[in-house]
Amino acid sequence: MSGLPRGWVEARLASIFDMYQPETIAKSDLKSDGPYPVYGANGVIGRYDRYNHEEAQLLVTCRGATCGAVNVTAPKSWVNGNAMVVRPLEGVMELRWAEYYFRGVADYSKIITGTAQPQITRQNLDPVLFPVPPLAEQKRIVAKLDALNAKSARARTELARIETLVSRYKQAVLSKAFSGELTNGDTSTDWPTVRLEQIAEVGTGATPKRGNAEYYSNGTIPWVTSGAVNEGLILQADEFITERAIQETNCKVFPAGTLVVAMYGEGKTRGKVAVLGLDAATNQALAAVRIRSSEVSAPQYVFLFLQSVYLTLREEAAGGVQPNLNLSIVKAIELPLPPLEEQHKIVRRIESAFAKIDRLAKEAKRALELVGRLDEAILAKAFRGELVPQDENDEPAEHLLARIRAERERAPKGRRGRGAKA
């Protein structure tokens, strides 16, 4: 690091940290109820009845996919051999200063070796240069970073809630729309209700036999499954089938504009509705709904209504471990059928409200990205010495390190850095 602020120095890690790689505990020795946590490559990996250090320290994962990740241990804990203990020398460096550097600034790309099994060794870490400000300045910077990080953490939490709120707001809009409140301010309406099968053809597709290559090889007909409904508007397919599959199986091609309802699917998929944006065949997990009544203004009206009853529809699913919907349930869905002019008005009001909600959601997402960039910028500023004022009365880091070196040279040679074993 060049151009260090006044009073700062660069020092090799080996001169300002005690570093070692602990012995590994056998998995059979790990317990679920031991008094002391055991840290490994991914944080706490178990409990143990002994500890090999008595104070908080940094751990740098030294092998595996998380190589270079940083944890801070709890006092009185054991460290497994997949992590390197990196402990700042007392009186030289604040633990939090070191943590901020290792987490946000350190570049491990030049010291990680291996590809199949990446690893960092003590020999790799020893010569790495580390920025050391005066100890008093470290404390001021850490205090400022902690305060700013607390604010950005709160901002991230609040912004992250927007995604959940968006879904709730849209459901509230849909609820008001189909009760009449969104268009005429009155929750009481005289709208008649009809079953979905009275205004639409409701069918399903099939899955051509996987073992028959003639159904799939060089296929040109898009074939969609229940996972596609998460897109809302289906514009492409992951798989294609052949004309022969259409002729010899229960598969059929549905025209663009057909609504599809997921009858099966894990997580949130079941009960979701989407619109085919292309002519496509489907599998048996999707109910295809083609509006055929002149009493319906447009498929969009039915699409939005099916969105409004998503949660209710999911509750009607039958089955055990993996509840499913079926065509009978989908056909029996009842929907309000106001006059055509009112249907048009409902669709316009919903789409207008959704557009505003989506704009807010987009702005929140952008703000969340900016918070992350702000954190990076603040951290970079801190390690350039620009975050807090410098104090000419601070003891320069060079003097501090010289004193520490002298003290270490006078100290008896012995085993350092491994803490006490109980």
- Is there a common fold for 1-133+395-422 and 192-337? yes
Angle at 319 between CA 314 and CA 320, to 5 degrees: 110
Check if the beta carbon of residue 30 is closer than 8 Å to that of residue 45: yes
Q: What is the pLDDT of residues 270-295, one digit of tens each?
A: 999 999 999 999 999 999 999 998 88
Check if the beta carbon of residue 85 is closer than 8 Å to that of residue 39: no
Q: What is the pLDDT of residue 181?
A: 86
Q: What is the pLDDT of residues 188-215, one digit of tens each?
A: 568 999 999 999 999 999 999 999 999 9
Q: What is the pLDDT of residue 125?
A: 86
CB atoms within 10 A of CB 178: 23
Q: What is the pLDDT of residue 54?
A: 83
Q: What is the pLDDT of residues 30-76, one digit of tens each?
A: 888 888 988 887 788 889 888 888 888 888 888 877 888 888 988 88
Q: What is the pLDDT of residue 286?
A: 95
Q: What does the alpha-carbon distance between residue 357 and residue 363 come to, in Å, rounded to a whole number?
A: 10
Q: What is the pLDDT of residue 419?
A: 46
Q: Which residues of the chain have pLDDT under 50?
A: 187, 415-422
Buried b (16+ CB within 10 A) or exposed e, 15-39: ebbbbbbbeebeeeebeeebebbbb
CATH topology of domain 192-337: Adenine-n6-DNA-methyltransferase TaqI; Chain A, domain 2 (3.90.220)
Check if the beta carbon of residue 201 is closer than 8 Å to that of residue 364: no
Task: Please report, for the chain, the start and end positions of each structural domain, with discontinuous segments joined by +.
Answer: 1-133+395-422, 135-163+340-394, 192-337
Q: What is the pLDDT of residue 418?
A: 46
Instruction: Specify the CATH superfamily of domain 1-133+395-422.
Output: DNA methylase specificity domains (3.90.220.20)
